[in-house]
Structure 1
Amino acid sequence: MKKTLIKSVSTCLVFGALLTLSSCKNETKATETTTTESKKETPKTVYASDVIPFFDNWKLILGDGSNVGVPINFENKDFFYTTNDGENNWVVFKAPNGGNTHGTSNNTRTELAQIKKWYPKTADDKLTATLKVMNVSATGDARVAATHAVVVGQIHSADAFENEPLKIFYKKYPGQDKGSVFWHYEINTAGDDNSKRWDYSSAVWGNDFSVVGTDANTYPEEPAEGIKLGEEFSYTIEVKDGIMNLTFLSPGHETKTFTKNIVESEYTTVADIPEQTKELFFPLGQDGVERKEAYTGEGCFFKLGCYNQTNGKSPEVNKNWCSGAETHGGDIQKQYADGNYAEVWFKTGSISVSDTAISNEGYFTKNDK
C-alpha cells in the first residue's frame, strides 16, 4: 500500500514537472514570437519625391480638380503614388474620364504645374522626362481627334488667354497594339476672340492628331511605327532666346527633333494656316490668326503628368475635343474598373529654371477652385 502511494506521488511529481517545462517552453516561444513580430518594421512609403527629386519646383493638381501644393512626401492612392515594376520605381499619375476639373478645362488631370514662370524671349529653361503610358480611355467616339489620348507634357501660358505653345500627346485606339506620339502648337490668337484659336499637330512616332475614324466605332489603321502601352519614351523640351527645341527618344525607334519659334508667328494671315488645321478646325469656326509676336511678353511654364484628353461631353459640342466617352456620372472607381481613365508612369525627370523666372502664383490664384 505504501509502495503504491509512493509510486503515485512520484508519477504526479514527474507529470507536474513536465507540464511546468512545457508551459515554460510555450511561454518562451510566445515571447520569441512577440519579439520577432515587434522587430518587423512597417514598410516605408516610397514617395514620388523619393523617386524623382525635383518636386520642390511644382504644385500638383489632382484628378478631382484640387491643388495640393508642393507634393513633397505626398501620395493619393486614387491619383498620385509610386509603384515598382520589378526593376525600377515609377511615379504614377492617373485621371478619370469624368470628374472635377481644374480651371476652365473640360478634362481631368493629375499634373504638375511649375511654380515659376519664365518669358520665352529671355528664357533658358529645360524639362526632361522618361515615361510610359499604361492606359488610355476604353471608350469614346473614334471621329473625335482627342479620344483615347493623354497629354504627358506641356508649356502653358500663365497670362492673357493662357494658351499652350506645346502639348505632347499619346493616343491609342482600342484593340490596337501601337499608339501614336505627337505634339501640338496652339496659336496665341490675335484680337480679343480666343474661341477662334486652333492647334497644329506634328507626328513624332505614328500619326498626328488629324488621323481619326470614319465613324464612331471604326478606327483608322494602326500606326506601323507607333509606341505600345507600357513602352518607354523620353522627351526633352528646351526654350532659349525664344526658340523651342524638342527631342524625342525611344529604344528601337528613330530619334526625332523639332524646332519652333514661339516669339515670332508664322500664322499671321489666313493664307499661312496649314491645310490640316483648315480641315480640322475651320468647320468649327476656329479660323483665327496669331498675333505677330506669338508668345512674346507672356509668362510661360512647364507642366508634366497625365492630362486626360477623353471626356464625356457630346461630340455635337465639338468634334475635335468632346469624346462622348463613359464617365459613370463622375464615379471614379467605376471608371477605373472598366478602363475609362488615363494612366502615365514617370521614371525620371529633371527641370532647369532660368534666373529670370518669377513667381507663377497668379496662375494658381486664378484657376484653383
Structure 2
Amino acid sequence: MNTKTIKSVRLSFLLVGMAFLLNSCFNSAKKTETTEEKAKVYPSDVIPIMEQFSILCGDGTSFKDLIKKEHKDFFYVTNDGVTDWVVYKTPNSGITSRTSSNTRTELGQTETWTPEEGGKLTGTLKVQHVSTSGDARVAASYSVVVGQIHGKEGHENEPLKIFYKKFPGHKKGSVFWNYEINTAGDDNSGRWDFSTAVWGYDMSVVGTSPDTYPAEPEEGIALGEEFSYEINVYEGIMYLTFKSKGHETKTFTKNLLKSDFSTKEAIPQQIWDLYAAIGRDGVERENAYAGEIQNFKQGAYNQTNGKNPEENIVWYTGSETYNGDIEKQYANGCYAEVWFKDASIGPGSAPNKQ
C-alpha cells in the first residue's frame, strides 16, 4: 500500500470518527433536553382541573389552554421543600379585565351555570404576600381575593368574593367573604358588598388615618399559613366551609335565589357605616341572582390600586404603583402572591352529602 493510499485511509477513519463523536454529542444533548423537559412541573401537573379554566395574568397576558402552560413571574410552580405549589402573583398596577381596575392572575371557569344548576369549587392555599402600601382607611387596602363567584350577565356582580387582608406590621391577617348585591333596576351605581368575618375581621374594620391601623386580630391567619375553602352551590343555596389547622372550622349559608336586602330597611348597619361616604345605598332584586349565569374564579385578584382614596374611600387604596413598572412593584412589596397546592371543581351537592 503506497503512502497516498495510507493517508487517504487515515483521513477517512478520522472523518468517520469525528462524525460519530459529533452525533454522540448531539444525541446526548437531545437526551438531556428531553430529560429536563420531562422533569419540569407545570401548574396543570399540580392542579389537574386547569383544563376547565382560562387565565388572565397581571401583565394582561391570557391563556385559554392551560395544559403545560406557565408564565414567568405570574403563574408557575414552586416547591417549598416538601410540596409543589401553583403560584399566582400580580402587581398593584398592570393590565386587567374590562370590568375592573384591579390586576389579577386568576383562573376563570370556562363553563357557566346558574344558581339553580349549582356547582362546587374547593381550594387549599396560603397567601404569601399582600401589598404593603395603601391607605388604612380604605377597606380594600392590603387585600387579595383568592376565590369568587362572578356574574356573567346582567350587572355582572359577584355573589361571592373570598378575601385575605393583612395590615402592615401585623403578623396575622383576616379571612372574610363578601356578598355583593345584585342591584334592582338598570342602575348598578348603588351596589355594595356585605362582609362576613371567617377568621379575624370583616372588611369594614379600617384604620382611623392613612397609616393608623386597628389592633391585630387575635384569631387571624398569618402569611404562609395554610387554609382551605369549599364553595358549594346546591339548588340555589350557597354553602361555605373554611378550614385551617389550629382554627375553628367555620360554615355559612346564603340564599342566592331570595334577597335579604330588597328594602332600605333591610340594609345592614355595616353598609351605612362603610358606604355612606360614597353614597351607595341600593337595594337588591327580590330574587337575587336567580336564573343569572355565573362562573367560578380562583387565584390572586389584587384589591390594591393607585387610585385616589378621597374619591372612593372603600375601594380606591392609593397604593404605590411605580407608574405601572412591574419589576419595581415586585421589588418594593407592591404586589399580591397566593400559592395553591390543591383545588377541585364539580357539581354542587346536598349539604349532608358534602
TM exceeding 0.5: yes
What does the per-residue CA deviation read over 1:253-275, in whole Å, with 9 as the maximum and x for residues that have no partner?
Answer: 00000000011001111100100
One-letter identity of the residue aligned with 1:346: F
**Is 1:97–1:137's contact at 8 Å kept on the other side of the alignment?**
yes
**Is 1:99–1:332's contact at 8 Å kept on the other side of the alignment?**
yes
Aligned-residue offset at 1:70? 2.4
Alignment partner of 1:141 out of 135, 153, 178: 135
Distance 1:37 1:344 in 2: 39
Distance 1:120 1:131 in 2: 25
Aligned-residue offset at 1:37? 7.3
> What residue in structure 2 maps to residue 253 of structure 1?
247
**Is 1:327–1:335's contact at 8 Å kept on the other side of the alignment?**
yes
Aligned-residue offset at 1:283? 2.3
**Is 1:144–1:212's contact at 8 Å kept on the other side of the alignment?**
yes
Aligned-residue offset at 1:201? 0.2
> What residue in structure 1 maps to residue 101 of structure 2?
106
Instruction: Name the SS for the 2:155 alignment partner.
Output: coil
Aligned-residue offset at 1:36? 12
Distance 1:254 1:201 in 2: 19
Distance 1:249 1:200 in 2: 21
> What residue in structure 2 maps to residue 336 of structure 1?
330
**Is 2:149–2:297's contact at 8 Å kept on the other side of the alignment?**
yes
| 2:203 maps to 1:215 | no
What does the per-residue CA deviation read over 1:1-39, in whole Å, with 9 as the maximum and x for residues that have no partner?
Answer: xxxxxxxxxxxxxxxxxxxxxxxxxxxxx99xx799756
Distance 1:316 1:98 in 2: 19
> What residue in structure 1 maps to residue 10 of structure 2?
none
> What residue in structure 1 maps to residue 122 of structure 2?
128
> What residue in structure 2 maps to residue 56 of structure 1?
51
One-letter identity of the residue aligned with 1:100: I
Aligned-residue offset at 1:45? 1.8
| 2:89 maps to 1:94 | yes
One-letter identity of the residue aligned with 1:190: A
One-letter identity of the residue aligned with 1:313: K
Distance 2:61 2:154 in 1: 23
Alignment partner of 1:226 out of 205, 215, 220: 220
Larger radius of gyration: 1
- Larger deviation: 45-54 or 35-44? 35-44
One-letter identity of the residue aligned with 2:211: N
> What residue in structure 2 maps to residue 21 of structure 1?
none
Aligned-residue offset at 1:78? 2.1
Distance 1:330 1:68 in 2: 22
Distance 2:112 2:243 in 1: 26
Distance 1:312 1:37 in 2: 52
Distance 2:206 2:86 in 1: 31
One-letter identity of the residue aligned with 1:186: E
**Is 1:66–1:102's contact at 8 Å kept on the other side of the alignment?**
no
> What residue in structure 2 maps to residue 69 of structure 1?
64
One-letter identity of the residue aligned with 1:72: I
> What residue in structure 2 maps to residue 317 of structure 1?
311
Distance 1:178 1:207 in 2: 11
Unaligned 5+ segments in structure 1 are 1-29, 355-369
| 2:301 maps to 1:287 | no
Aligned-residue offset at 1:121? 1.9
Distance 1:317 1:37 in 2: 63
- Correspondences of 1:342-361 after superposition (within 5 Å): 342-353=336-347
Aligned-residue offset at 1:42? 2.8
CA RMSD between the two structures: 1.9
> What residue in structure 1 maps to residue 12 of structure 2?
none
Unaligned 5+ segments in structure 2 are 1-20, 349-354
Distance 2:79 2:190 in 1: 44
Distance 2:318 2:48 in 1: 38
**Is 2:85–2:340's contact at 8 Å kept on the other side of the alignment?**
yes
Instruction: Name the SS for the 2:276 alignment partner.
Output: helix
**Is 1:140–1:310's contact at 8 Å kept on the other side of the alignment?**
yes
One-letter identity of the residue aligned with 1:198: W
Distance 1:87 1:79 in 2: 22
Aligned-residue offset at 1:84? 0.3
Instruction: Name the SS for the 1:42 alignment partner.
Output: helix
Percent identity for Structure 1 against Structure 2: 60
Aligned-residue offset at 1:192? 1.4
- Correspondences of 1:175-214 after superposition (within 5 Å): 175-214=169-208
Distance 2:250 2:90 in 1: 28
- Correspondences of 1:158-177 after superposition (within 5 Å): 158-177=152-171
Distance 1:257 1:334 in 2: 40
Aligned-residue offset at 1:193? 1.1
**Is 1:58–1:113's contact at 8 Å kept on the other side of the alignment?**
yes
- Larger deviation: 251-260 or 64-73? 64-73
> What residue in structure 2 maps to residue 274 of structure 1?
268
Instruction: Name the SS for the 2:36 alignment partner.
Output: coil
Distance 1:217 1:130 in 2: 32
**Is 2:277–2:313's contact at 8 Å kept on the other side of the alignment?**
no
TM superposition score normalised by structure 1? 0.85
Instruction: Name the SS for the 2:253 alignment partner.
Output: strand
Number of matched residues? Answer: 324
